[in-house]
Amino acid sequence: MITFLIRRIISGLVVILIITMLVFALFFAVPNNVARKMAGRNATPETVDLITQRLHLDDPIWVQYKNYMLNALHGDFGTDYYYQLPVTQVVKEALPVTASLAIGAAIIWLVLGVVAGVISAIRPRTLADRSITVLAIIFFSVPSFVLGLTLLYFFYFRLTLAGFEWFPPGGYAPLSEGIGPWVQHLILPWITLAMISAATYSRLTRGSMLETLSEDYIKTARAKGISERRVTYQHALRSALTPIVTQFGIDLGTLLGGAIITEQVFSLEGLGRTSIEAIRNQDLPVVMGIVLLASVFVVLANIVVDFVYALLDPRVRLS
């Protein structure tokens, strides 16, 4: 177990290192002049040179990368080029928004997707199965921005015109203001993310459950007289959750790096929207900080998934 953990941590660190190298290479491959953009149109060459020297943009790429990584090991991820704020502060302000959005939506889509998939699997080719399949195809085919704008139209615009101001048009209310405003601002973004992902999870759960229910040990359990409910939920579902856990770990880890489209639609100042602004401005320290954080989330999610495997399926052994 310890050997497995050490091996996964080392491989994760290698992945993060490679990603930082690629981001640095892409940043310098883009033919935009950060110093010129910051100085403005009417800036003199001397002003541009001064900004270039102050930001160390005239250093070779490998020198800039080395200095960045050395500082990052000491907890210093640089300073925002445009707002002159520490990157850690920028990330600290955006992370709660993205974390609230991602975790809330993940809980909803996991519950909805698994329940719908189980119902479809234990009642194949029935009206319930076909209805869930149709709904899954519909939500899977709808782009997130279309679903988000549709929800805003009906649940904000139309309800507000009718005198029911139940949902805000966007923005974020921190938990410090109360759980009511927090949920009120996030319920529509949660639904937007959850319904699209739940469609995928319902189909994944159905396929995995049908495959598991045809296994010999399930037939043996039924032959021993074990109740169908126990066979379904204690034996079949537990084994069928393995691919679902894999997908959930990947999706949640990726989503914690920023739900770009949903954050844009609902005006949420999360990591996704912050990263888009940083990329547009070629603000390398902010881009690198968010990329590193997202990479860590994905690596940790994959390590946790591997451990959950062993808990769900005794046939899995970590070595």
pLDDT value for 261: 85
Q: Is the pLDDT score of 111 beyond 90?
A: yes
CA 215 – CA 237 distance, rounded (Å): 12
Q: CA dist 103 to 99, 187, 198, Å?
A: 6, 12, 14
More confident: 292 or 109: 109
pLDDT tier for residue 150 given thresholds of 50, 70 and 90: very high
What does the H/E/C string look like for the chain?
CHHHHHHHHHHHHHHHHHHHHHHHHHHHHCCCCHHHHHHCCCCCHHHHHHHHHHCCCCCCHHHHHHHHHHHHHCCCCCECCCCCCEHHHHHHHHHHHHHHHHHHHHHHHHHHHHHHHHHHHHCCCCHHHHHHHHHHHHHHHCCHHHHHHHHHHHHHHHHHHCCCCCCCCCCCCCHHHCHHHHHHHHHHHHHHHHHHHHHHHHHHHHHHHHHHHCCHHHHHHHHCCCCHHHHHHHHHHHHHHHHHHHHHHHHHHHHCCCCHHHHHHCCCCCHHHHHHHHHHCCCHHHHHHHHHHHHHHHHHHHHHHHHHHHHHCCCCCCC
Domain 91-312 part of CATH 1.10.3720.10: yes
What distance lies between CA 267 and its chain's CA centroid? 17
Mean of all residue pLDDT scores within the chain: 83
pLDDT value for 246: 83
What pLDDT, in 10s, does the model give residues 235-261?
788 778 888 888 888 888 878 776 888
What pLDDT, in 10s, does the model give residues 186-210?
999 999 999 988 988 999 999 988 8
More confident: 153 or 81: 153
Q: Is the pLDDT score of 112 beyond 90?
A: yes
pLDDT tier for residue 314 given thresholds of 50, 70 and 90: low
What pLDDT, in 10s, does the model give residues 40-59?
666 667 666 776 777 667 77
* Most confident among 132-136, 224-228, 237-241 (mean pLDDT): 132-136
CA 304 – CA 316 distance, rounded (Å): 14
Q: Is the pLDDT score of 317 beyond 60?
A: no
What pLDDT, in 10s, does the model give residues 61-72?
788 788 878 888
Give the start-to-end residue ranges of the domains of the chain: 2-73, 91-312
